[in-house]
Chain A
Amino acid sequence: MDVIYIMWLRQLKKYFRSKSRIVGSLGQPLLFLLAFGFGFGAVFKKAGAGNYMQFLAPGIIIMSVLFTAIFSGIDVIWDRQFGFLKETMVAPVSRFQIMLGKTLGGATVASIQGVIVFVLTLIVGFRPHDLILLPLGAIVVFLVAILFTSLGIALASTMEDMQGFQLIMNFLVMPIFFLSGALFPLEGLPKVMDIIAMLDPLSYGVDGLRFSFIGSEAVFGMTTDMVVLFLLAAALLGIGSRLFERIQV
């Protein structure tokens, strides 16, 4: 238990100490909110789909959670580069505890990032539909954070260095974001896009958060969203720790 806590605490301390990283990581969501939110707002309204900023905000919050979570997981590579991984690998504690502490820490950091972006959306005009449903949104955010931090650790465990990083960004993280319905409604899409969106884990996060935040009809249903996110988070936590255990420094 102590080990999980100290790993968690380490992630948080590192996050709060890198102020430039926090500020830097707010640039992208802000740009997306301004460019898309205001840029497509008029068209969206004309199409009779309502207020685009309201629609977009949950998607952008989930986006920042996705990116922060993946990076927190991929951190393992930096630990390897700067040698700290060896210190944890020779310690007489189970690999699973180390991995779990790191995942919870990364997921907490990603969730905090989500909260900061949430505040940002409030500033640009987003208004949550029902305050009572906000805690539900928080659960969705945390599940998404756990899922993608574990994925990051799983990927990092199989990588020797940063060579494959660009590949992961372009062929995994970006598609997961863009095809999830974070930016557009999932209704009335071509069949292929429909199937892809259904296979994209992030779609369920976006759907769940949109339901909690703006009271929109959940495309997959809130229960489905929660169950899928929970199962995937658990599965990736398992896979991540298996791969993490196999790391040889």
Chain B
Amino acid sequence: MSYNIDHGNVITVSNLVKKFGDFTAVDNISFEVKKGEIFAFLGPNGAGKSTTIKMLTTLLHPTQGTVTLNGHDTTSDKNGVRKSIGIVFQDPSLDDDLTAMENMEFHATCYKIPHNTRKSRIEEMLRFVELWDKRDELVKTFSGGMKRRLEIARGLLHHPAILFLDEPTLGLDPQTRNHMWSYVKDINEKEGMTVFFTTHYMEEADRVAERIAVIDHGKIIATGISSELKAKTGAESLEDAFLTLTGHKIREEEASGVDRMRMMGRVWGGRRR
């Protein structure tokens, strides 16, 4: 555990607010993540996790407050932030009609990885996630786990200072999940890369995260290491601590436009694919 070694903060969030009309999705939150830390951001559905991640990764403009990532402000220096981060989104974000290699090349071009190291770096990352043999196959032929691995390889391609993982293990079998975390921890240790992730699996957060923040109703309701959260709530496991903090009520999340359309795409059955 290296969380208590002070390397300085790589993420600083201060008084962050996001409102959608009358609804306050993120309500004045502040927290820091230290350099090289593996940080878990937990919360029930609709608590404001995704909105926060979108603001941290420059996809949404905050209503108020500031976010500094790796020394760059997310509103005034978007490209500085974008160069510093790698992201594995909750939903797949690969181009299914391209091969694994072409998806990597697209990313390498966008992140201006120099031509002379590009090929070798792509090979290194594809071998790292054991997809080198499949490099010329179309992504649409890949299983869910393979897609996830490819997204991780892609997210790491440009040596990001911070890796964002938004529910990266959703729908993965335990084998793939274990593998994935061993890749991520490996790079975290070797390159001092900071990892910021969300998950609904509490034992995963307990096992992997060095520090945890719990968000609910748009507010951060607890931060600390796992044992602190357990001690604070008098709970045996992190899951119990989480439930004590956030309550047992089941949350409903309204389907977004994209979700609705994904449904439509399914109904239309591969109009284009």
Contacts and interface: CB of A to CB of B under 8 A. Distances in A.
Contacts of A93: 79, 110
Contacts of A88: 110
A90 B87 contact: yes
Contacts of B94: 83-84, 87
B57 interface: yes
Interface stretch (A9-17, A58-66, A119-127, A179-187): A9-17
Nearest to A85: B93
A86 B82 CA distance: 12
A27 interface: no
Nearest to B257: A160
Contacts of B257: 160-161
B59 A89 contact: yes
B59 A86 contact: yes
Interface stretch (A74-82, A141-149, A231-239): A74-82
A13 B97 contact: yes
- Select the residue from A21, A83, A248 with max chain B CB neighbours within 10 A: A83
Given A10-B98, A13-B98, A92 B106 contact: no
Nearest to B265: A81
A43 interface: no
A88 B58 CA distance: 12
B258 A81 contact: yes
Interface string B77-93: 01110110101010111
A249 B95 contact: no
B60 interface: yes
Nearest to B91: A83
A17 to B, nearest CB: 6
A2 B85 contact: no
Contacts of A34: none
Contacts of A89: 59
B96 to A, nearest CB: 6
A170 interface: no
B89 A86 contact: yes
B190 interface: no
A118 B153 CA distance: 44
B262 interface: yes
Contacts of A167: none
A65 to B, nearest CB: 19
Contacts of B138: 17
Given A10-B106, A13-B102, A90 B264 contact: no
Contacts of A116: none
Contacts of B264: 161-162
B82 A82 contact: no
Contacts of A5: 109
B207 interface: no
B224 to A, nearest CB: 29
B111 A91 contact: yes
A18 interface: yes
Nearest to B80: A92
Nearest to A89: B59
A77 B264 CA distance: 12
Given A90-B58, A162-B261, A162-B264, A83 B111 contact: no
- Select the residue from A13, A81, A92, A249 with max chain B CB neighbours within 10 A: A92
B96 A82 contact: yes
A6 interface: yes
Contacts of A162: 261, 264
B264 to A, nearest CB: 6
Contacts of A22: none
B251 interface: no
A105 to B, nearest CB: 13
B109 A84 contact: no
29 contacts: A6-B106, A14-B95, A17-B138, A18-B272, A81-B258, A81-B265, A82-B265, A83-B91, A84-B94, A86-B87, A86-B91, A86-B93, A87-B95, A87-B154, A89-B59, A90-B58, A92-B79, A92-B83, A92-B110, A93-B79, A160-B261, A161-B257, A161-B258, A161-B260, A162-B264, A248-B54, A248-B59, A248-B60, A248-B61
**7 A-B pairs with least C-beta separation:** A160-B257, A161-B261, A91-B110, A92-B82, A83-B93, A92-B79, A6-B109
Interface of A: 2-3, 5-6, 10, 13-14, 17-18, 21, 77-78, 80-93, 160-162, 248-249
